[in-house]
Amino acid sequence: MTWYYMEPDGDLVTNDSRRQDQGGYKPMPAFYLHYRFMAIYDNDGSFSAIAKCIELLDHFREEILDRAFVNFLAEPLLQNKLPESQLLETDFEKLFETSHLLRIRRQDKTMTFYGGVDLPLIVASGRSFTPNFFSYRKGKAILKYVRMSARFFSMGYFYSDGLTKQGDEYILHKKLEVPYYGPMTPGRRDPDGDYELTPSLNRRFWSKLDLQLSSPVSLVSR
């Protein structure tokens, strides 16, 4: 999975992370020792290829050569030569259905689609709440984040209710339903304008108005 999440420059996709690195920077060299150990231990050519790929990244010296010497002393297996490498896949479409994240790569071009936000939205550790649903890279040109905000009753950012594949299409989708308040009838009006402070039905705001609910209004985004 880590290989599919890796950008050609060694950055890792963090859209679906539920930890502190969500939306931040996570370098592939952080996994070098794991791949090197398992490549040697299992004589695995694909792990060996990934380890050698990491060795070519810009941050390899800073993350490994300057810091990991003690690991090679503590685990002698790491000192062994890497086995023969297998060819790595650099042309793929990989949908991770449990996290609703799609990775598409065509050599040095990559795309990420994400629709796996943990609802209801709560800013807390252990939940994914990023509205970034798309990113694109081609070589050194990077479109890092794309978000969309609806003007429909100012409901804020679009958060998809999952990511599904239908034929040759990948679908991000969301249905919003918000209450629509009509004017107060004459019998409910207070000449002094002193109404009880109450929350709206969806608790998006509080008001001192005796609001009457009309039919809900729906919007489907796809």
Compute CA 107 distance to the chain's CA centroid, rounded to the nearest angstrom: 22
Please give the pLDDT value at position 151: 75
Reply yes or no: is the peptide bond before residue 120 cis, omega within 30 of 0. yes
Rounded mean pLDDT of 12-34?
Answer: 81
Rounded mean pLDDT of 62-79?
Answer: 87
Of all helices (H) and strands (E), which one includes residue 5?
A: helix 2-5
CA distance 22 to 5: 13
Sequence spans of domains, the chain: 2-160, 177-221
- Per the model's pLDDT, the better-predicted residue between 206 and 54 turns out to be 54
Radius of gyration of the chain (CA): 25
Specify whether the CB–CB gap between 157 and 148 falls below 8 A.
yes
Please give the pLDDT value at position 216: 54
Backbone angles phi and psi of 2, in degrees to 5: -60, -35
What would the pLDDT profile of 30-47 be if each residue is shown by its tens digit?
Answer: 899 999 999 999 999 999
Helices (H), 125-181: none
What would the pLDDT profile of 152-208 be if each residue is shown by its tens digit?
Answer: 677 788 889 999 999 989 999 988 777 777 777 777 788 888 888 888 776 777 888
Specify whether the CB–CB gap between 11 and 29 falls below 8 A.
no
Specify whether the CB–CB gap between 100 and 160 falls below 8 A.
yes
- Per-residue pLDDT band for 134 (boundaries 50, 70, 90) equals very high
Compute CA 181 distance to the chain's CA centroid, rounded to the nearest angstrom: 35
